[in-house]
Every structure is written in C-alpha cells, then in structure tokens.
Amino acid sequence: MVTRRTATVTTAVALLVVLVCVAFLLPVPYVTLKPGPTRDVLALGKGGAAVISIEGAETYASDGALRLTTVSVTSPDETVGIGEAVQAWISPDEAVVPREAIYPTEQAAERSEQESAAQMADSQEVAATAALRLLGRAVPEHLEVLSVTQGDPADGVLAVGDVIVAVDGTRTSGSQQTAAAIRDREVGAEVRLTVRRDEGVRTVSLQTVAGEPTSDDAEPYPAIGIGLGTTYDLPVEVQIELGGSIGGPSAGSIFALAIYDALTPGSLTGGASVAGTGVITADGAVGAIGGIQQKLAGAAEAGAEVFLVPAANCADAVGADIDEADIQLVEVDDLRGAVNALELLAADPEAEVATCG
C-alpha cells in the first residue's frame, strides 16, 4: 500500500532529480580550457605541400617533429553548463575560467576570432624576422599606419601604409612609444607627425580628439584615429599554411625554430618529437602564454619527448598532470637558448640543458 507520506517523498525525490538535471544543463558564466590538437610544422600539409615554405634562400630537409600546441576554448557563441564546468574543474588537464576573462564584452566576443587570426599572421612575420636575425640577416622594420578611422583627424591626411618617422620632431621606434608620444598632451592639442609615403617625407599637424576609454573608469585620452603596427622587410619570402582555425600568437617560437631549421643544414630536433609554445619578439625573446597545462597534456598525448616552456610558465608547467619521465620540460628564455638546447639534445639526448623545476 502506498501511503500519502510515501507518495509525497517519492514526488519530492523526483522533483529534486529533475531540478538537479535542469541545473546541470543551465549555462554558467564560465568557459572551459581543454587540451587542443598539436600540429607538426615540419610535416606536409593538405595536398602534400609543406606547412612552411621559403623562397629566396637555400633550404634543407629535416626530420623529427616540431609541434605547435593549442588550447581548445569554449567559443563565443557557446555556453557551458554546470555539469561541464564541474567536470572540467575536476579534470587535471582542463580548467574553468570566468567568461569575462576571455571575452570581456559581447563586442570583444564578436571580435575574438578576427583578432586571433590577426595575431597568428603577425606572429608568423615576427617569427621569420627572429629566425633570420639569429642567422645574421638584416631585417629592417617600419612603424606603419594599419588603419585610419573615418571622421577622425587623420582621415584624409594619413593613409594605410604611411610610415611614422617621428612625433613632434622626435624619432620613435615602436607603436607603443609612438602612441605614448601622441597621448603626451591634452585632448584638443596639436601633434606633429613626420610621415614617409612612397619616396617622400612630410610633416603634418593634427588636432587631437578624445579617444574612447577602454573601461568605465578610464579617462578620455588624446587620439587622432589611427591604428599602428610594426612591419618587417623580410629578405626572403616565408609562407606558413596551417589551415583550420588555429589562431593567436603563442606559436611564434615554434614557427621561428622551424624557419631556422629549414635555413640550416641538419636536423634541429635530431629526429625527436619536440613540442612547445611561446610568443616571440622580432629580437628573439620568448614570452609567456596561457593554458600551459592544457598544451602540455596535448603534447604528451601526441607523443612529444621534449617540450619547450617559456621561462615565465615553468612554475605552472611543473604542476601539469604529465609523466616528466616521458616528456622533458626545457626552460626557454629566447630563440638562441632554444636552438642551443635542441642542438645539445640532438647530439646527446642525455645532455644537461636548463629545465623547469
């Protein structure tokens, strides 16, 4: 016989189960970071073409593997349920971070894929520059106008491709330095730019306007409506064809190593499977990246024997859930250090190199 009390308890339990199930399906304001695929940049891509091709210089065959590593991040148009968030939080290879940390605003979410693709393209050019400079090749660089905002002071005065030589008569050498020089005045004040276009050099005067603050508590700043970036005159033509949706700047160090390997005799890896990550500057400095533990897990899954870790990421790398007896964590500060370490390991896998931990 089913009593009223039994029926009530049964109904309550059923409702509780339903509510728990619904709760696990409801979206939460987080995104997950998971190990992404690796890609061997020494291998052949689609159609049998090399991932990295170089024209204008002698190249050499290599063996082994140089794998760039990735992190799989919840896309801007996807949501994460409580169940998925809990599972990622428990997993040693995954992470859960606030959505706003990856996509600060809805507008930022919409721009994220375009920005990621632009960062990837920029990292390829910078990587080629770093590799060529390490080989002693001269690679001139220029500070160029990459965009002009319609209706702002620079509209009709400056054009995409203009090279900024000086601000108020003082030479500048980078986009940050130039932006700081333009902002070193009151809104509405005049700024003089020395600009090279084609073969001619001229000086133009522009009155600054209030730039849009980047946050609610930021003050308006003097702006003229241009986007700046550094471009490089490469003495050879370098093409990198990855395909797919890989983006961001963190593969720069691996690109630079692959280009260096292609331009030097012998195999930089010594036939080993090497993976790594790290943003790179034109002068070869290797910087920190995000998602190091997820990238290590992906590299271990792909069978990498060596992982090149930016020095600033070493503390987090040693906490990754991998067997360090199977994959060696090599600490890297710059491209020269990475090349030296790989050459030592290629000659002797037991050689002493700087490691994390």
Q: What is the pLDDT of residues 245-285, one digit of tens each?
A: 676 778 899 999 999 999 999 999 999 999 999 999 999 99
CATH number at residue 203: 2.30.42.10
pLDDT computed for residue 166 by the predictor: 92
Residue-by-residue DSSP string for 134-180: HTT----EEEEEEEE-TTSTTBTTB-TTPEEEEETTEE--SHHHHHH
Q: State mean pLDDT over 5-13.
A: 49
Asked if residue 270 and residue 122 are part of one domain, the reply reads yes
pLDDT computed for residue 228 by the predictor: 85
Asked if residue 290 and residue 178 are part of one domain, the reply reads no
> In this prediction, what percent of the chain has a pLDDT beyond 90?
47
Asked if residue 343 and residue 268 are part of one domain, the reply reads yes
- Which residue among 214, 232, 250 closes a domain? 232
Q: CB–CB of 52/40 below 8 Å? A: no
Residue-by-residue DSSP string for 242-256: --TT--SSTTHHHHH
Q: Evaluate whether residue 309 is within a structural domain.
A: yes
Write the single-letter amino acid at 290. G
With a cut of 80, say whether residue 173 has pLDDT above it: no
Lowest mean pLDDT across 39-48, 84-93, 271-280, 295-304: 84-93
Asked if residue 259 and residue 119 are part of one domain, the reply reads yes
Asked if residue 177 and residue 123 are part of one domain, the reply reads no
With a cut of 50, say whether residue 74 has pLDDT above it: yes
Give residue-wise pLDDT tens across range 99-112.
776 666 655 555 55
Q: Evaluate whether residue 246 is within a structural domain.
A: yes
Over the range 298-322, which residues count as b (16 or more CB within 10 Å of their CB) and which as e?
Answer: bbbebebbbbbbbbebbebbbebeb
Write the single-letter amino acid at 193. L
Q: Evaluate whether residue 217 is within a structural domain.
A: yes
- Which residue among 210, 232, 254 closes a domain? 232
pTM of the model: 0.79
Number of Cβ atoms within 10 Å of the Cβ of 175 = 16
Asked if residue 241 and residue 129 are part of one domain, the reply reads yes
pLDDT computed for residue 34 by the predictor: 81
Q: Evaluate whether residue 26 is within a structural domain.
A: no
Mean model confidence pLDDT for the chain: 82
Q: Evaluate whether residue 22 is within a structural domain.
A: no
pLDDT computed for residue 16 by the predictor: 45
Q: For residue 274, give the nearest of 178, 341, 179 by alpha carbon.
A: 341
Higher per-residue confidence, 20 vs 241: 241
Q: Evaluate whether residue 266 is within a structural domain.
A: yes
> In this prediction, what percent of the chain has a pLDDT beyond 70?
75
Q: Domain of residue 301: give its range.
A: 35-73+112-137+237-347
With a cut of 60, say whether residue 24 has pLDDT above it: no
Q: Evaluate whether residue 20 is within a structural domain.
A: no
Give residue-wise pLDDT tens across range 112-124.
555 666 666 778 8
Lowest mean pLDDT across 150-154, 304-308, 311-315, 322-326: 322-326
pLDDT computed for residue 101 by the predictor: 65
Q: Evaluate whether residue 18 is within a structural domain.
A: no
Asked if residue 196 and residue 145 are part of one domain, the reply reads yes
Asked if residue 300 and residue 201 are part of one domain, the reply reads no
Distances (CA, A) of 339 to 107, 157, 256, 267: 40, 45, 10, 11
Interatomic CA distance for residues 126 and 248, integer angstroms: 13
Provide the domain count of the chain.
2
Lowest mean pLDDT across 25-39, 55-69, 220-234: 25-39
Asked if residue 258 and residue 196 are part of one domain, the reply reads no
- Which residue among 232, 260, 291 closes a domain? 232
Q: For residue 269, give the nearest of 341, 321, 168 by alpha carbon.
A: 341
